[in-house]
Structure 1
Amino acid sequence: MSQSQLSRHLTLLQATAINMTDMVGIGPFVVLSVVAEIMHGPWFLYAWIAGALLSFIDAMVWSELGTTFPEAGGSYNFLKESFGPRTGKLMSFLFVWQTMIQAPLVIASAAIGFAQYTMYLYPLGFWETKAVSGAVIILIVFLLYRNIETIGKISVTLWIGVLVTMIWIIGGGMAQGHFLEPIKHINDGFKFNMTFAAALGAASVKSVYSYLGYYNVCHLGGEIIAPQKNIPRSMFISIAGIAVLYLCMNISVAAVLPLSQIEQSKFVISEFIQQLAGPTAAMIVTVLILWIAFASVFSATLGYSRIPYAAAKDGAFFKIFAKLHPTKNFPYISLLFLGGVAFVFSMFFKLKEVITAILAMRIMIQFIGQAIGLLVLNKRKGRNFVKWRMPLYPVPVILAILIWILIFASTGYMMLAGMAVTLLGILIYFVKNRINAGH
């Protein structure tokens, strides 16, 4: 099956909408309190700034690779092409291997967050919560079971809901007249020492999770119109827009609620709106947050479903995943498999565990590996080979690698799980090759 079977219909607006809906999701609404609790002071805003800076730096790596290899699968192609024939095969296999675990974790995290936030509207028991998260995943798969033109339109509709909600939250804080107070007091009691550095690292694991998704457009590279222009633009627009929205949202909440309440709240945005406008408004904003969580699962599942397809089409993964739907022209086997595994994960995991596991699973291969791959590619092919060139190369690449190493170390015991998954993948790769060589 040729790459041309995926058609280029996604515009810059639609690509940006897909990125931003993936980025926002349930993350910032459930992570806001966690970040504040870890930092334990008005300087918790620094964790959100750190997340934005890392995303900007890392997006430069994605832009160089995404514009040079604008095909379905994103990182699968980047790793395969960057490292050359032998190492590239191993790295791309490891990426698909960890994607089959971490992609369903990402989808499940948004669905679990959706169910958790539903409890503000209606108290749910353990199994009722699981039923809600499972139903979200089933509905997402149903909505994605259609052609890319329709999906592009659905994405823009979901994105509008995201923007309306964020503007309402930020506007509510501004209207109180104390919007700038958290910024004025951001350094009250601040001391830069090892304790702060450790807290910033742990908090950044959570804030970075809320920015993930800025690269989703790269997984859809084979369906983007004018990818050399639109892939970098959609990423940088998405990161800039989301960074402003996150910072303003955190400042708004901190301008209205005391820090102690923010740190302990499970429904901080709903409580924030309730204090501003009463219980009815709080119920409405909760429904809108659920809309955002749903939109995030939609975008993430869409992007990830293209990765096993790309690997299978390339002969590096099970052939069945290379199948496109006979009339709607999308990788339906890949979509159904990831949705099924995500459904199972949503039954067994808690949200905090999933967030840390997601980063631990993907940092080594996808983020650090990909950045090293870009350095290798430039050495092998020269700077003129890439279609978009970052300023100050290779400084941003080296910075990205160092920061990702620090974030990886901050995942704690999950770091060991990430390493174990990678080592198991290496073992399976060589066993598979030995078996294939024997035939």
Structure 2
Amino acid sequence: MTSPTQVAGFERRIGPVQATAINMTQMCGIGPFVTIPAMVATMQGPQAMFGWVVGAIIALADGLIWAELGAAMPGAGGTYLYLREAFQYRTGRLMPFLFAWSAVLFIPLIMSTGVIGLISYLGYLVPGVVDGSGDTTLLGHVIGIAVVVLVVFALYRKIGEIGKLTTVLFGVMLFSVLAVVLAAFTHFNAGQAFGFTQGAFGGGGAFWSGLGAGLIIAIYDYLGYNTTAYLGAEIRDPGRNLPRSIVYSVLGIMALYFLLQVGVLGAVPWAEIKDSTSVASLVLERTWGSTTARVLTVAIVVTAFGSIFAGLLGGSRVPYEAARDKLFLPWFGRLHPRLNFPTVGLLTMGVITAAGSLFSLTDVINMALAVLVVVQSLAQAAAIVVLRRRQPELKRPYKQWLYPVPTIIAVAGWVYIFVSATALSMWLTLGWIVLGVLAFLVWARAERTWPFGEKEIQEAFVQ
């Protein structure tokens, strides 16, 4: 029997501060620094600031789903565990297989956006990294791949050391965001910041017409509040610390994003913001001068590094749990013999992250989110309902507040986001899921399990 401090080879070494820091470092990263221009352009004016608020409502509602499931089933892999437990009664191992199949793709794709953003800000410091239109050059792509290699190297260590490093990166992230906010508010023009375009909030106005595309951007920037759920086997007192890390990180990042967006709009006209490739550096240059802007841009680059670091840390644990269940390639189920982390999962996701960094930011965001909505977010919302009915005796240290209201809000938000994605992204998602179902059928036939054999019902977390 495993001890309270060790689960399946992992060690429970991550405390409450480190857990919240991991989430917030992954959530913030480079996201708002590269997507504020896109949000302003999408909503055609300062009304874009409210896009972050609507996104936060969806993120918090979804976070409360993660909080209940993660506290009840604190193991490595997060969603994989929840879908395995919830859907085994009707569809055997299909749903957890589809999640593991898709997570190996969409988690590193989301991390690759951090690489793309890092390179765009590095272009402010280093000539030749981006061209005149803001597109990444060959040199920029080479540097991006080198950054991924460095992240993987930094993660090649024990979880206790990683927790300390993440806290440092969190500090740099917080410093970067607050520095830009402070710079913006020292030269703040309220009339400019709140000069909403005429008719923006009326029927068919700019806010409503741009809300769907704006929410894709906003929810992308909030992603990461669930990172600690993937690390459930490595968190101390997960029934208490895991839900708090999720709620605190969503509320904290919402406040930071709103202040950042309002401050930027008050410092630079929105017509200039929407065309900027490094808006934070632009704000710093306008307010505190080019020297300070260059120094703080370095901190923003480090912040982007921290986001990639935290994302690959959590994501690498997903295929590990699936492999231990003999539902994925067995190589993914191996831990480093001395450092106790899943080596193959980390290296594989590192390779996909590097490949994803070669595409454009908007294409990667649309592809990653479309897959995530179907195989994770909507499926997990169904899982919380199924588990309440199927496993009422499951110990739940935290129960979702006002259940099922947050779950309903989350489902409505995710459906709206999915139908707002590009048609190509939706078709690619459906194609990927079909391929996943076919791969599952091949595996199920070989293993003689459902639908070609008996269902294996194992309520692993019911005591």
Structure 1 residue 363: Cα displacement: 0.5
Counterpart for residue 371 of structure 1 = 381
Structure 1 residue 19: Cα displacement: 0.5
Distance, in Å, in 2 between the alignment partners of 1:182 and 1:225 is: 47
* Stretch of structure 1 that moved more, 2-11 or 275-284: 2-11
Counterpart for residue 362 of structure 2 = 352
Counterpart for residue 265 of structure 2 = 254
Say if 1:81 and 1:88, in contact at 8 Å, map to a contact too. no
Q: Compared with structure 1, are the counterparts of its residues 116 and 173 closer, same or farther at alpha carbon in structure 2 (3 Å cutoff)?
A: closer
Structure 1 residue 58: Cα displacement: 0.5
SS at match of 1:84: helix
In structure 1, runs of 5+ residues without a counterpart are: none
Distance, in Å, in 2 between the alignment partners of 1:79 and 1:170 is: 40
Distance, in Å, in 2 between the alignment partners of 1:386 and 1:266 is: 45
Say if 1:110 and 1:297, in contact at 8 Å, map to a contact too. yes
Q: Compared with structure 1, are the counterparts of its residues 204 and 88 closer, same or farther at alpha carbon in structure 2 (3 Å cutoff)?
A: farther
Say if 2:193 and 2:265, in contact at 8 Å, map to a contact too. no
Counterpart for residue 440 of structure 2 = 429
Counterpart for residue 30 of structure 1 = 34
Question: Equivalent of 1:166, from 171, 177, 188?
Answer: 177
Counterpart for residue 321 of structure 1 = 332
AA partner of residue 320 (structure 2): Y
Say if 1:7 and 1:223, in contact at 8 Å, map to a contact too. yes
In structure 2, runs of 5+ residues without a counterpart are: 130-136, 454-463
SS at match of 1:264: coil
SS at match of 1:83: helix
Counterpart for residue 371 of structure 2 = 361
Structure 1 residue 173: Cα displacement: 2.1
SS at match of 1:326: coil
Q: Does 2:413 correspond to 1:403? A: yes
Say if 2:193 and 2:263, in contact at 8 Å, map to a contact too. no
- Report the count of equivalent residues: 437
Counterpart for residue 66 of structure 2 = 62
Say if 1:312 and 1:318, in contact at 8 Å, map to a contact too. yes
AA partner of residue 200 (structure 2): F
C-alpha offsets along residues 76-125 of structure 1, whole Å, 9 cap, x if unaligned?
00111122344251110000000111122122221122112211112225
Alignment of 1:279-294 (within 5 A): 279-294=290-305
Say if 2:10 and 2:341, in contact at 8 Å, map to a contact too. yes
Distance, in Å, in 2 between the alignment partners of 1:277 and 1:303 is: 37
Structure 1 residue 186: Cα displacement: 4.6
AA partner of residue 167 (structure 2): V
Root mean square deviation of aligned Cα? 1.8
Alignment of 1:49-88 (within 5 A): 49-87=53-91
Q: Compared with structure 1, are the counterparts of its residues 131 and 5 closer, same or farther at alpha carbon in structure 2 (3 Å cutoff)?
A: same
Counterpart for residue 113 of structure 2 = 109
Counterpart for residue 151 of structure 1 = 162
* Stretch of structure 1 that moved more, 350-359 or 290-299: 350-359
SS at match of 1:14: helix
Counterpart for residue 45 of structure 2 = 41
Distance, in Å, in 1 between the alignment partners of 2:371 and 2:291 is: 40
C-alpha offsets along residues 290-348 of structure 1, whole Å, 9 cap, x if unaligned?
0110000000000000001111112211111111111111111211111122223323x
Say if 2:74 and 2:233, in contact at 8 Å, map to a contact too. yes
Distance, in Å, in 2 between the alignment partners of 1:254 and 1:177 is: 8
AA partner of residue 8 (structure 1): R
Distance, in Å, in 1 between the alignment partners of 2:10 and 2:436 is: 29
Identity %: 36
C-alpha offsets along residues 183-233 of structure 1, whole Å, 9 cap, x if unaligned?
654575333324543310111101110000000000000000000000111
Q: Compared with structure 1, are the counterparts of its residues 383 and 252 closer, same or farther at alpha carbon in structure 2 (3 Å cutoff)?
A: farther
Say if 1:144 and 1:298, in contact at 8 Å, map to a contact too. yes
* Stretch of structure 1 that moved more, 40-49 or 195-204: 195-204
TM-score computed with the length of structure 2 as normaliser: 0.91
Question: Equivalent of 1:419, from 412, 430, 449?
Answer: 430
TM-score computed with the length of structure 1 as normaliser: 0.96
SS at match of 1:429: helix
Say if 1:42 and 1:188, in contact at 8 Å, map to a contact too. no
Counterpart for residue 231 of structure 1 = 242
AA partner of residue 382 (structure 1): P
Distance, in Å, in 2 between the alignment partners of 1:147 and 1:86 is: 39
